[in-house]
Structure 1
């Protein structure tokens, strides 16, 4: 599993996603974004939903570079009230993501209650044992990062900093959190969330991030256009 993570070290992972109500929320469009990212040197991709992962995997398989040279971090966002956990919340979501072609499974790595009441450790164990995939635990705090590592996570990301009740009012990127995680976590730490420029990506790597995930600043056309339009009004 450590071998699967190795291609990510020191590089840029591009998150190719789009809002559900966007014209870009189509498998072929997401795959085209992913192809453009790989063509320009991205070391990996982060993709949401089985349909989109399947399309990206098919595209990557046609690339002259081996598809496993640049891994897909797969997830499936599913909102299941009353649980606040929405990043691959249950095992059957992880299973679908794995079957679609993901190399690494991203899950919510916090201690928040999941829709089926399952705790983090058993979920990670099932992903390892039944799917044979490494797990990226998306967390919001150092405590949750350490608990995720204890539960078996193969890498941890700062993804949920600023998006949970515990970090409400804080704005990513969480560089202080990143530094603390790098210092205390014995697994690769991935910086994700709020990286808005190449200089910030470089800063994250200089602080010890194993890799940097960038989404909106590269592929978030809807959000970026909206910001430009709002400033012109």
Structure 2
């Protein structure tokens, strides 16, 4: 079964913790991935080759890999250069996700040029476009991405204030009507009901992170309502 078929119609759990977060540890992310699998997840999204190597020791689920790294003069930080792609290929990710926004990239490289370089070096790897607007999703399809994702919607200057779940996923409906490449719903999906609705609309799979794997944010959500 192909990787795309393995994740179709299911939940991918994002197991990530940045250095300033309490669960930052490859060991902990490995255990988090086991917990996600036991709960029924059909894939894992993970950050850094170290975390991914540990997760691969703990589960055989397909992995969407990224490397978050800041670069001077650019707001692009998700798998921004070939350095990050090389690191992910070292540990054998099933899918590599990268920033597909129209923001200035490191060293001024265009997204089209970057994708061509990746395809030339790793022709068989599946690439997922983390986009923030409908136009960016459409452009990513034109560039030949294997998967299109709403990961960054609401997290860039151009998409500030956007929420993929608003108005019964109106923007998601527009995306699905505009492209034929499989679409991954990610970002602002914080309830099982929202995840189910995405599948009903026709997305390929759903990625959920903070609502499942970041206990400090889950706790804060409870506390804010209780006060």
TM-score of the two chains, using structure 1 as the length reference: 0.90
Match of 1:144 among 136, 139, 142: 136
Residues 1:8 and 2:21 are matched in the alignment: no
Partner residue, 2:107:
116
| Structure 1 residue ranges without an equivalent (≥5) | 61-66
1:20/1:201 CA distance change after superposition, 3 Å: same
CA distance in 1, matches of 2:157, 2:20: 26
> Bigger shift: 131-140 or 164-173?
164-173
Show the 5 A alignment for 1:59-74. Answer: 59-60=58-59, 67=60, 70-74=61-65
Name the count of aligned residue pairs.
224
Deviation readout 1:26-64 (Å, 9 max, x if unpaired): 00000100011112221111001111111111212xxxx
Cα contact 1:57–1:101 (8 A) shared by 2: no
Partner residue, 1:189:
183
Secondary structure in structure 1 of the residue aligned to 2:144: coil
CA distance in 1, matches of 2:151, 2:94: 18
Displacement of 1:116 in angstroms is: 2.2
Deviation readout 1:174-205 (Å, 9 max, x if unpaired): 62221111111121000000111111100011
Partner residue, 2:98:
107
Partner residue, 2:214:
220
Cα contact 2:164–2:171 (8 A) shared by 1: no
Partner residue, 1:45:
44
Displacement of 1:172 in angstroms is: 4.0
Cα contact 2:46–2:65 (8 A) shared by 1: yes
Displacement of 1:81 in angstroms is: 2.6
| Structure 2 residue ranges without an equivalent (≥5) | none
Cα contact 1:74–1:98 (8 A) shared by 2: no
Displacement of 1:231 in angstroms is: 4.2
Partner residue, 2:200:
206
Partner residue, 1:167:
159
